Chains A and B, each alone.
Chain A
Amino acid sequence: DVVLTQTPVSLSVTLGDQASISCRSSQSLEYSDGYTYLEWYLQKPGQSPQLLIYGVSNRFSGVPDRFIGSGSGTDFTLKISRVEPEDLGVYYCFQATHDPFTFGSGTKLEIK
Protein backbone atom coordinates (compact mmCIF):
# COMPACT_ATOMS: atom_id res chain seq x y z
CA ASP A 1 0.00 0.00 0.00
CA VAL A 2 1.12 3.58 -0.63
CA VAL A 3 2.30 5.30 2.54
CA LEU A 4 1.81 9.05 2.83
CA THR A 5 4.10 10.68 5.37
CA GLN A 6 2.96 14.07 6.61
CA THR A 7 5.20 16.56 8.35
CA PRO A 8 5.04 18.16 10.75
CA VAL A 9 2.76 16.14 13.01
CA SER A 10 1.57 19.36 14.64
CA LEU A 11 1.93 23.01 13.86
CA SER A 12 1.32 26.07 16.04
CA VAL A 13 0.81 29.22 14.01
CA THR A 14 0.15 32.86 14.84
CA LEU A 15 -2.97 34.30 13.27
CA GLY A 16 -2.09 35.98 10.00
CA ASP A 17 1.08 33.94 9.48
CA GLN A 18 1.67 31.23 6.87
CA ALA A 19 1.52 27.49 7.53
CA SER A 20 3.05 24.79 5.37
CA ILE A 21 2.38 21.04 5.47
CA SER A 22 4.36 18.44 3.57
CA CYS A 23 3.07 15.10 2.27
CA ARG A 24 5.58 12.62 0.90
CA SER A 25 4.45 9.45 -0.87
CA SER A 26 6.21 6.08 -0.93
CA GLN A 27 5.41 5.84 -4.66
CA SER A 28 4.81 8.28 -7.47
CA LEU A 29 1.20 9.46 -7.51
CA GLU A 30 1.06 10.01 -11.26
CA TYR A 31 -1.75 7.89 -12.61
CA SER A 32 -1.76 6.04 -15.93
CA ASP A 33 -3.67 8.94 -17.51
CA GLY A 34 -0.88 11.37 -16.64
CA TYR A 35 -2.79 13.12 -13.89
CA THR A 36 -2.06 13.04 -10.16
CA TYR A 37 -4.80 12.20 -7.69
CA LEU A 38 -3.63 13.81 -4.49
CA GLU A 39 -6.15 15.57 -2.28
CA TRP A 40 -6.14 17.54 0.96
CA TYR A 41 -8.86 17.37 3.57
CA LEU A 42 -9.43 19.33 6.76
CA GLN A 43 -11.20 17.84 9.74
CA LYS A 44 -12.30 20.55 12.13
CA PRO A 45 -12.92 19.55 15.76
CA GLY A 46 -16.05 17.43 16.08
CA GLN A 47 -16.81 17.56 12.35
CA SER A 48 -16.56 15.35 9.29
CA PRO A 49 -13.58 15.88 7.01
CA GLN A 50 -14.06 18.46 4.29
CA LEU A 51 -12.40 18.66 0.89
CA LEU A 52 -9.98 21.52 0.38
CA ILE A 53 -7.84 20.61 -2.64
CA TYR A 54 -8.20 17.94 -5.32
CA GLY A 55 -5.86 16.94 -8.12
CA VAL A 56 -2.87 18.46 -6.30
CA SER A 57 -3.79 22.09 -6.78
CA ASN A 58 -7.50 22.58 -7.53
CA ARG A 59 -9.43 24.35 -4.79
CA PHE A 60 -12.86 22.90 -4.07
CA SER A 61 -15.89 25.17 -4.31
CA GLY A 62 -15.92 27.77 -1.54
CA VAL A 63 -12.34 27.15 -0.38
CA PRO A 64 -10.51 30.46 0.06
CA ASP A 65 -7.55 31.21 -2.17
CA ARG A 66 -5.40 31.30 0.96
CA PHE A 67 -5.14 27.52 0.51
CA ILE A 68 -2.60 26.52 -2.12
CA GLY A 69 -1.68 22.98 -3.08
CA SER A 70 1.39 22.10 -5.09
CA GLY A 71 3.77 19.30 -5.90
CA SER A 72 4.32 16.37 -8.20
CA GLY A 73 5.52 12.79 -8.20
CA THR A 74 6.08 11.94 -4.55
CA ASP A 75 6.33 15.34 -2.88
CA PHE A 76 3.38 17.61 -2.18
CA THR A 77 2.74 20.69 -0.09
CA LEU A 78 -0.26 22.52 1.27
CA LYS A 79 0.35 26.16 2.12
CA ILE A 80 -2.10 28.25 4.10
CA SER A 81 -1.37 31.93 3.92
CA ARG A 82 -2.76 34.39 6.47
CA VAL A 83 -4.00 31.69 8.90
CA GLU A 84 -7.43 32.43 10.38
CA PRO A 85 -9.11 30.96 13.49
CA GLU A 86 -11.41 28.74 11.41
CA ASP A 87 -8.38 26.99 9.88
CA LEU A 88 -7.66 24.99 13.02
CA GLY A 89 -8.07 21.24 12.86
CA VAL A 90 -6.32 18.22 11.40
CA TYR A 91 -5.18 18.26 7.80
CA TYR A 92 -4.92 15.01 5.85
CA CYS A 93 -3.41 14.33 2.48
CA PHE A 94 -4.99 11.50 0.52
CA GLN A 95 -4.11 9.60 -2.63
CA ALA A 96 -6.49 7.87 -5.01
CA THR A 97 -3.91 6.98 -7.66
CA HIS A 98 -3.18 3.55 -6.24
CA ASP A 99 -5.62 0.96 -4.88
CA PRO A 100 -6.15 0.90 -1.95
CA PHE A 101 -6.60 4.62 -1.51
CA THR A 102 -4.73 5.89 1.53
CA PHE A 103 -4.63 8.88 3.85
CA GLY A 104 -1.66 10.51 5.50
CA SER A 105 -1.50 10.35 9.28
CA GLY A 106 -2.56 13.97 9.67
CA THR A 107 -1.14 17.33 10.74
CA LYS A 108 -2.78 19.16 13.60
CA LEU A 109 -2.89 22.92 13.14
CA GLU A 110 -3.20 24.93 16.31
CA ILE A 111 -3.48 28.65 16.70
CA LYS A 112 -0.98 30.32 19.02
Chain B
Amino acid sequence: EVQLQQSGPEVGRPGSSVKISCKASGYTFTDYVMNWVKQSPGQGLEWIGWIDPEYGSTDYAEKFKKKATLTADTSSSTAYIQLSSLTSEDTATYFCARGDTMYTTDSPPYFDYWGQGVMVTVSS
Protein backbone atom coordinates (compact mmCIF):
# COMPACT_ATOMS: atom_id res chain seq x y z
CA GLU B 1 0.00 0.00 0.00
CA VAL B 2 1.36 3.38 -1.02
CA GLN B 3 1.66 5.78 1.91
CA LEU B 4 3.09 9.25 2.33
CA GLN B 5 3.62 10.08 5.99
CA GLN B 6 4.37 13.72 6.70
CA SER B 7 5.96 15.20 9.80
CA GLY B 8 4.08 17.09 12.48
CA PRO B 9 2.88 20.69 12.72
CA GLU B 10 5.50 23.42 12.78
CA VAL B 11 5.65 26.85 14.29
CA GLY B 12 8.26 29.22 12.95
CA ARG B 13 9.18 32.76 13.82
CA PRO B 14 9.16 35.43 11.11
CA GLY B 15 12.45 35.35 9.23
CA SER B 16 13.31 31.79 10.25
CA SER B 17 13.14 28.53 8.30
CA VAL B 18 11.26 25.25 8.72
CA LYS B 19 11.81 21.86 7.11
CA ILE B 20 8.98 19.38 6.58
CA SER B 21 9.41 15.73 5.69
CA CYS B 22 7.36 13.26 3.67
CA LYS B 23 8.29 9.60 4.13
CA ALA B 24 7.21 7.32 1.31
CA SER B 25 6.45 3.61 1.60
CA GLY B 26 4.81 0.92 -0.46
CA TYR B 27 6.60 1.71 -3.71
CA THR B 28 10.06 2.37 -5.16
CA PHE B 29 10.80 5.94 -4.11
CA THR B 30 13.03 6.74 -7.06
CA ASP B 31 10.45 5.69 -9.66
CA TYR B 32 8.16 8.70 -9.11
CA VAL B 33 8.57 12.44 -8.73
CA MET B 34 7.34 14.05 -5.54
CA ASN B 35 5.29 17.21 -5.71
CA TRP B 36 4.47 19.77 -3.04
CA VAL B 37 1.25 21.75 -2.78
CA LYS B 38 0.34 24.70 -0.53
CA GLN B 39 -3.08 25.43 0.89
CA SER B 40 -3.48 28.71 2.77
CA PRO B 41 -6.19 28.78 5.48
CA GLY B 42 -9.62 28.57 3.89
CA GLN B 43 -8.11 28.90 0.43
CA GLY B 44 -7.43 26.82 -2.64
CA LEU B 45 -4.43 24.82 -3.75
CA GLU B 46 -1.12 26.05 -5.19
CA TRP B 47 1.51 23.87 -6.78
CA ILE B 48 4.97 24.61 -5.38
CA GLY B 49 7.18 22.29 -7.39
CA TRP B 50 8.49 18.76 -7.80
CA ILE B 51 11.65 16.80 -7.23
CA ASP B 52 12.83 13.70 -9.04
CA PRO B 53 14.40 11.68 -6.20
CA GLU B 54 16.46 9.56 -8.57
CA TYR B 55 18.38 12.47 -10.07
CA GLY B 56 17.71 15.24 -7.59
CA SER B 57 16.37 17.43 -10.36
CA THR B 58 13.73 19.96 -9.42
CA ASP B 59 11.20 22.32 -10.92
CA TYR B 60 9.55 25.18 -9.06
CA ALA B 61 6.70 27.56 -9.71
CA GLU B 62 8.27 31.00 -10.12
CA LYS B 63 6.70 32.45 -6.97
CA PHE B 64 8.26 29.72 -4.81
CA LYS B 65 11.77 29.72 -6.27
CA LYS B 66 13.16 31.90 -3.48
CA LYS B 67 10.89 30.48 -0.80
CA ALA B 68 11.07 26.69 -1.07
CA THR B 69 13.90 24.19 -1.44
CA LEU B 70 13.05 20.60 -2.32
CA THR B 71 15.38 17.74 -1.47
CA ALA B 72 15.14 13.97 -1.21
CA ASP B 73 17.00 11.26 0.69
CA THR B 74 16.82 8.02 -1.24
CA SER B 75 18.32 6.01 1.63
CA SER B 76 15.26 6.74 3.78
CA SER B 77 12.72 7.28 0.97
CA THR B 78 11.98 10.72 2.35
CA ALA B 79 11.30 13.98 0.54
CA TYR B 80 11.73 17.34 2.19
CA ILE B 81 10.62 20.90 1.68
CA GLN B 82 12.41 23.75 3.42
CA LEU B 83 10.66 27.09 3.64
CA SER B 84 12.92 30.06 4.30
CA SER B 85 12.54 33.69 5.41
CA LEU B 86 9.13 32.91 6.84
CA THR B 87 6.38 35.54 6.77
CA SER B 88 2.71 35.39 7.67
CA GLU B 89 2.02 34.55 4.01
CA ASP B 90 3.67 31.18 4.60
CA THR B 91 1.13 30.13 7.21
CA ALA B 92 -0.56 27.24 5.43
CA THR B 93 -0.90 23.50 5.13
CA TYR B 94 1.70 21.84 2.93
CA PHE B 95 1.01 18.56 1.17
CA CYS B 96 3.38 16.18 -0.56
CA ALA B 97 1.88 14.26 -3.47
CA ARG B 98 3.34 11.51 -5.59
CA GLY B 99 3.41 12.22 -9.31
CA ASP B 100 2.54 9.38 -11.67
CA THR B 101 2.45 9.64 -15.45
CA MET B 102 0.13 8.31 -18.09
CA TYR B 103 2.20 7.69 -21.16
CA THR B 104 5.93 8.07 -20.70
CA THR B 105 8.15 9.01 -17.79
CA ASP B 106 8.45 12.46 -19.39
CA SER B 107 4.70 13.05 -19.48
CA PRO B 108 3.36 15.66 -17.08
CA PRO B 109 2.30 14.05 -13.81
CA TYR B 110 -0.95 13.59 -12.00
CA PHE B 111 -1.00 13.31 -8.22
CA ASP B 112 -2.23 9.87 -7.26
CA TYR B 113 -1.29 9.69 -3.58
CA TRP B 114 -1.13 12.52 -1.07
CA GLY B 115 0.33 12.97 2.38
CA GLN B 116 -1.93 14.05 5.23
CA GLY B 117 -0.59 17.60 5.16
CA VAL B 118 1.49 19.63 7.61
CA MET B 119 0.27 22.86 9.15
CA VAL B 120 2.95 25.53 9.31
CA THR B 121 2.18 28.54 11.47
CA VAL B 122 4.35 31.63 11.34
CA SER B 123 4.13 33.52 14.58
CA SER B 124 6.36 35.59 16.80
Question: Which A residues are closer than 8 A to B by beta carbons?
Answer: 31, 33, 35, 37, 39, 41, 43, 48-51, 54-55, 58, 60, 92, 94, 96-97, 99-106
Contacts and interface: CB of A to CB of B under 8 A. Distances in A.
Contacts of B103: 33, 35
Contacts of B112: 51, 54, 60
14 contacts: A39-B111, A48-B95, A48-B116, A49-B37, A51-B112, A54-B102, A60-B112, A94-B47, A96-B109, A100-B47, A100-B60, A103-B45, A103-B47, A106-B44
B108 A97 contact: yes
Contacts, number: 64
Contacts of A48: 95, 114-117
B27 interface: no
Contacts of B110: 37, 39, 51, 54-55, 96
Nearest to A92: B45
What's the interface size class on B, roughly? Answer: 20 to 34
B31 interface: no
A49 B103 CA distance: 23
Interface of A is mostly: loop
B1 interface: no
Interface of B: 37, 44-47, 59-62, 95, 97, 102-103, 107-112, 114-117
Contact of A49 (B60, B62, B114): B114
A105 B44 contact: yes
Contacts of B45: 41, 43, 49, 92, 94, 103, 106
Contacts of B44: 92, 103-106
A54 B99 CA distance: 12
